[in-house]
Amino acid sequence: MTDETTGTENGAGTEGTAGQGEGRRVRVVLVDDHRMFRAGVQAEIGGTESTGVEVVGEAADVDQAVTVITTTRPEVVLLDVHLPGGGGVEVLRRCASLMTAAEDQVRFLALSVSDAAEDVIGVIRGGARGYVTKTITGTDLIASIFRVQEGDAVFSPRLAGFVLDAFASTDAPPVDEDLDRLTQREREVLRLIARGYAYKEIAKQLFISVKTVESHVSAVLRKLQLSNRHELTRWATARRLV
């Protein structure tokens, strides 16, 4: 597995579990719409005495996230990119003032199943300090949390490449107005449709119903003024979203 913090294979693990034996502490909020995933992360990193990570709150959608983050003022937020209510970008937008606060500054680390360039660039544009995927190990995730707490930016090498490419030629990344009309979940469904997945396969992968997949596809077609999945695939391929 690629080390998300150093770019070496399992390299972060050589540093040991961050916080252990050093008396370091970091207060963290988990934001993810899958309860079982939050429980898994909590079990993996939440042993405060051994890891130094104290999970002070959880949230499953944008409104809950803003409320919990504002109330608890954690040092680091583990933020899923795809959330009900507008996605991780909406959480970042509504918590912008907390990221620049002189005291009790809140920093965000995206933790997502997606490794798509537009997702990475979207949350970095929104103010996140890093982006790691859900394939990361518990030890590497803890190390990433502490690095973000200290002000470092944390990316796997491939994801860092997306950011460098996006910011290399212009001061601001180009905005795709058509793509921006879609919610994060609609973009995720779009990408899977374009890759040739059946509705049932998409539903299983995203932990949603087939009916919900159909609803998202209809919304995507309507917003992009397309007629069928073949046109949708061509549209996504032209934008290198597949």
Structure tokens, 168: 């290399």
Share of the chain above pLDDT 70, in %: 86
Residues 6+ apart with CB under 8 A from 47: 53
pLDDT in tens, 175-203: 677 887 888 788 888 888 888 888 998 88
- Does position 242 have pLDDT exceeding 90, yes or no? no
Share of the chain above pLDDT 90, in %: 41
Return the biggest CA–CA distance within the chain: 59
- Does position 6 have pLDDT exceeding 50, yes or no? no
pLDDT in tens, 126-169: 899 999 988 899 999 999 999 999 988 898 777 777 777 766 65
This prediction's pTM: 0.64
Is the Cβ–Cβ distance between 131 and 109 less than 8 Å?
yes
* CA 10 to the chain's CA centroid: 21
- The CATH architecture assigned to 26-168 reads 3-Layer(aba) Sandwich (3.40)
- Does position 117 have pLDDT exceeding 70, yes or no? yes
Q: Give the pLDDT score at 48.
A: 82
Please report where in the chains the tokens 């996006």 appear, as a residue: 166
Helix (H, G, I), strand (E, B), or coil: what is residue 58?
Answer: strand
Q: Topology of domain 177-239, per CATH?
A: Arc Repressor Mutant, subunit A (1.10.10)
Structure tokens, 16: 């040991």
Residue whose C-alpha is closest to residue 98's, from 76, 78, 81, 130? 76
**107 Rama class: left (phi>0) / alpha (psi -120 to 50) / beta:** beta
Tell me how long the chain is: 242
Residue whose C-alpha is closest to residue 192's, from 174, 209, 166, 216? 216
Domain ranges (residues) in the chain: 26-168, 177-239
